[in-house]
Amino acid sequence: MAVTSMRNTLSKSHVMADRMATVSRLEEVVSTSDEFDQVVSRALPALLDRATGYTKRFLRETGQWNDDIEHEKFALRWGSEYLERFLVCGRSEVPCRPLFLFDSLVAKQHSKPEPFCYHPDLLRPLGRFLDGLVARAVVSRDALIALYRHSYGWGAGDVIAVTGLNGLESQRIYKNFRRWRESGWQRTMDEVGLTKAELAELGNQQQRHRQRFNGEAERLIRVAQAHYRKSEPDHYPCLSRSQWGDMFAQGYGCDYRIWHLALCLDCMQTAWGLGSNGSLTGEKPRLELQVRP
């Protein structure tokens, strides 16, 4: 018994020593993007713990924290979000000290006026559902294309027409839809932590109180989308109808159109019909939230 306890203690001490060494390496200068990847890849658990801890402290200091599983999950989700941002932007910041760059990125987010870090409605089932969809869409093309389905009830053909895609891109849309139905949606629901009972209740609300349900969904998805369009305004600004028209007419900005329109309800209405060659009729789209794919 004593030997086992001693082994556990030694094992924990070894893990702590490794983690301290990893953090120390993050404090040193890295000179190339490859070196950045190598150093950071060894420190992902430590960086995630660091970001999650910062988020918990921020929520406590702003009076937005409760000691429960929902807030723990929320802090972990945002820790993961900060880490993903760091992995994307860090390679372009070399030479740098990765740990200090990481800390500054998180601090910058928490220093913004009214930073989007916690919204009480996003802890409820509908908010968690929408936040989970949009968060996943930022890193998954399948989830991004699925936003058109969940937001408007569209199929692959509708997405192709609205975004003005060519033949090669069109085939990818069908594959995105298929993969999302087969596994993507369920995996995302599991990550969000929505139970079968909660999903069933959302479906019931959708059927019984459609107008109120869609109104609340539009309010919450605007909150989530405003945050997750994090590359803007430098790379994905909203455009006027004439600017969207020029993009469709000239055939450029394929990724721009797909990404921006899925994450911007206002531009979707502005650009409605431009890429369809007249095949779309009727009123401009309004949010018609679909819970299942």
**pLDDT for 17 beyond 80:** no
For the chain, count helices (H), then strands (E). Answer: 15, 0
Q: Is the dihedral of CA 247, 252, 258, 259 positive or negative?
A: negative
Q: Is 286 within a domain?
A: no
106, 128: one domain = no
Residue 284, CA atoms < 13 Å, CB-side half-sphere:
9
What's the CA angle centered on 115, arms 110 and 116, to 5 degrees?
115
Residues 149 and 237 occupy one common structural domain: yes
Q: What is the DSSP letter of 161?
A: H
**How far is 55 from 99, CA to CA, in rounded Å?**
16
Residues 134 and 259 in one domain: yes
The token pair that represents 152 in the structure block: 């408007």
Looking at the fold, whether 136 and 95 belong to one and the same domain comes out as no
219-251, pLDDT tens digit by residue?
999 988 877 776 555 567 889 999 999 999 998
pTM over cut 0.75 = no
DSSP state letters, 45-101 = HHHHHHHHHHHHHHHHHTT---SSHHHHHHHHHHHHHHHHHHHHHGGGG-SB-HHHH
State the Cα–Cα distance between residues 28 and 42, nearest whole angstrom. Answer: 14
Angle at 146 between CA 143 and CA 150, to 5 degrees: 125
Domain endpoint, select from 79, 111, 143: 111
pLDDT at 34: 92
**Domains: count for the chain:** 2
The boundaries of the domain holding residue 233 are 120-271
Q: Compute the distance between CA of residue 53 and CA of residue 75 in angstroms, rounded to an integer.
A: 8
* Each residue's pLDDT tens digit, 127-145: 999 988 998 888 789 999 9
